Amino acid sequence: MTYIWPSPAKINLFLYVTGVRSDNYHYIQSLFQFLNYGDTLKIIVNNTGNIELFTAKKLILTTENTIIRAAKLLKSKALLYAKTNCNTLGARIFLNKKIPMGSGLGGGSSNAATVLIVLNELWKTQFTLEELAKFSLKIGSDVPAFIMGKTSIVEGIGEILHPIQRKEKWYLVVYPKIHILTKSIFSNSLLKSTSQKKPIKLLLKSRFSNDFEDIVSNKFKKIKTLLSVLSLYAPTRITGTGSCVFSEFDDKTSAQKIFSLLPQNVKGFIAKGVNTSSLHQVFYKRNTHILNSKSILK
């Protein structure tokens, strides 16, 4: 049976840079919250050995796309651990894209996580979520959080996750039609990697902020204006290192009211923050046996 699989967006409720490794990877502390909004993927497996991606936006049909990279990574790991006849593992993947690129909503990382989780089941490669999360760091630092699927404090370079329960609030997310490359922001000379690492309890009690906000808003005046306007109505920040600006509300009606005050040409959406990603909500209802799976790695 063919299913349509969710690939949810995320926001970073806070994001701090606490240091830099010798290889230039940055240590962070962030609060990772899923939204009930995102892309969808239809995945049909076959025995051709080929990975094919279909989407209306042909510009992302490349081997560098996280979807193709994720599928190939899973095949290579299956080959390494002699899981199955990897040469015949194939798939046709159809992407319905809603999450803008360079927005800070994690679209590419989310797509990779959905592919890894679903193909791991359909190809019967039998890796655990923890193993998939470990592999996935080769694709991006946000991918492990999407794979584990819970609201979490994220530390290290993205590999250390502390799941938490948080009140599920509503968010007005505005996309200013600006594509920001994560690499360019992390390499910005104005980035100060001096935020002090804090205990989780203190992080959650402190005022939330984003170490990249000044860099992004000073570089893009449109984002600076959005932050100024929306901050008049609700707590407002950028998400991740992207261009999207989000405002937090206790209920949907309040978010809708503020959205209605914005110019009609402003692109955005309203979504609810959820403690369990929509992919996990759907996937584990259909595959309850996976919850009890054990590691096969030696």
Catalytic (active-site) positions: 10, 142
Tell me how far apart the alpha carbons of residues 47 and 213 are, in angstroms, rounded to a whole number. 47
Question: DSSP string covering 208-235, please?
Answer: P-BTTHHHHHHH-HHHHHHHHHHTTTS-
Half-sphere exposure of 150 (CA within 13 A, CB side): 13
Copy the structure tokens of residue 178.
Answer: 């600006």
- 200 CB-near residues (< 8 Å, 6+ apart): 153, 162, 164
- 144 CB-near residues (< 8 Å, 6+ apart): 133, 134, 136, 137, 158, 159, 161
CA-nearest of 100, 110, 108, 241 to 174 is 100
